[in-house]
Structure 1
Amino acid sequence: MTRTKSLYLLCSAAPPVFDVAHVIEDAQARGWDVCLGLTPMAAHWISQSLDGLAALTGHPVRWQYKLPGDPDVWPVADALLFAPATFNSLNAWALGLTDKFALGVAAEAVGKGTPVVTMPCTNAALAAHPQFEQSLATLRGAGVTVLFGEDGFVPGPPGVDSPPHFPWQLALDTVDATPTA
């Protein structure tokens, strides 16, 4: 009997997070057992859907660290997708700041050698900040596949609430093509 591949899907508070149920369904159709982790603000944004998302995945939706001594409630990850990943989340992750559950899980995945893919979601003004490119370079240097620019998410102008198209299919295709742990 073969074990189902486990995918940790981590999301920041950016408008594409509202599509997460469809992304989970697509990943499941591709053979992934999906565990959903959120930043606290993303959890707030989709708070009305958390129970339904837990039912959809069959796992608790997490946005907070467990207490010491509590059991792990997710299977071990075979791959991790952090998308949408905001300007703030990417910079904090690259700097090793793990005060938020999703950031800690992503940082540990890199250290464990778990295949990690991320797709930023930010506007062009924030993407022009010098720390952003340094953070992307740091994550790439750590082995993270970063889908940004011509090969991923292309940022739009500031002030636009929702990007016209967030390439979720590209993110899932990249995860599928990445050798798993």
Structure 2
Amino acid sequence: MTTSDRVLYLFCSAAPPAFDVADVITDAQERGWDVCLGLTPTAARWLAPQLGELERLTGHPVRSEYKLPGEPDVWPTADVIAVAPATFNTINSWALGLTRDFVVGVVAEGIGKRIPIVTMPCVNAAYVQHARFERSVAELRDMGVRVLYGEGGFVPNQPGQGKPKQYPWHLVLDAAQEVSRT
């Protein structure tokens, strides 16, 4: 755990690169971030065996559900939010404002609060053929979200041909640093 004045909310959807989140947290801490980890419900289920370790690493509770009304907030205020890997469902739900899940709710509200946000999808080439995906990416960009997709970001693979160890996490952390300075 690293103590820092700069707070990064790192939000992960259920895509294979999420299994490497401990290394990403360590990298972010080495860059000077105090990291708070949020997970979609499926990502939380996938990472359930690691949740205790991830809480020790960040020094904060890992969150995947909304708090109850009146409960205190257990995290410091975010300076920047990074959503990666962001699945087809997360990108589309976010763009449409469907805030059933904690992660999507926080980033949807984060736009209105003017918190700098960066996201990098993790979707296969079949998903991106769906017309809603490209519209969602464009809408998020129009709302001020830095979307790392296409050249200089995530480039989809064919279904079943993903390379989770090659997911360019460093681009997410680089972009988080950049948008936090603007």
CA contact (8 A) 2:17 2:165 kept: no
Give secondary structure in 2 for the equivalent of 1:148: coil
The residue number in structure 1 matching 2:177 is 176
CA contact (8 A) 1:37 1:61 kept: yes
Measure, in 2, the Cα distance between the counterparts of 1:103 and 1:64.
Answer: 11
User: What CA deviation, in whole Å up to 9, does each residue of 1:105-160 have, x standing for no partner?
Assistant: 11111110000000000000101110000000110000000000112000000123
The residue number in structure 2 matching 1:55 is 56
The residue number in structure 2 matching 1:27 is 28
Measure, in 2, the Cα distance between the counterparts of 1:111 and 1:142.
Answer: 9
Give secondary structure in 1 for the equivalent of 2:119: strand
TM-score under structure 2 length normalisation: 0.95
The residue number in structure 1 matching 2:43 is 42
Equivalences for residues 123-162 of structure 1 within 5 A: 123-160=124-161, 162=163
CA contact (8 A) 1:156 1:163 kept: no
1:16 counterpart letter in structure 2 = P
Give secondary structure in 2 for the equivalent of 1:151: coil
CA contact (8 A) 1:114 1:180 kept: no
The residue number in structure 1 matching 2:15 is 14
Deviation at 1:180, TM superposition (A): 4.6
Percent of matched pairs sharing the same residue:
60
TM-score under structure 1 length normalisation: 0.96
Measure, in 2, the Cα distance between the counterparts of 1:162 and 1:105.
Answer: 28
2:30 counterpart letter in structure 1 = A
Give secondary structure in 1 for the equivalent of 2:166: coil
The residue number in structure 1 matching 2:81 is 80
C-alpha RMSD over aligned residues: 1.4
Flag the 1:76–1:50 CA change in 2: closer, same or farther, 3 A: same
User: What CA deviation, in whole Å up to 9, does each residue of 1:79-122 have, x standing for no partner?
Assistant: 00000000011000000000000000111111100000000000
Measure, in 2, the Cα distance between the counterparts of 1:110 and 1:180.
Answer: 17
Residue 79 (structure 2) pairs with residue 68 (structure 1)? no
CA contact (8 A) 2:124 2:162 kept: no
Measure, in 2, the Cα distance between the counterparts of 1:95 and 1:79.
Answer: 21
Residue 117 (structure 2) pairs with residue 116 (structure 1)? yes
Deviation at 1:165, TM superposition (A): 1.4
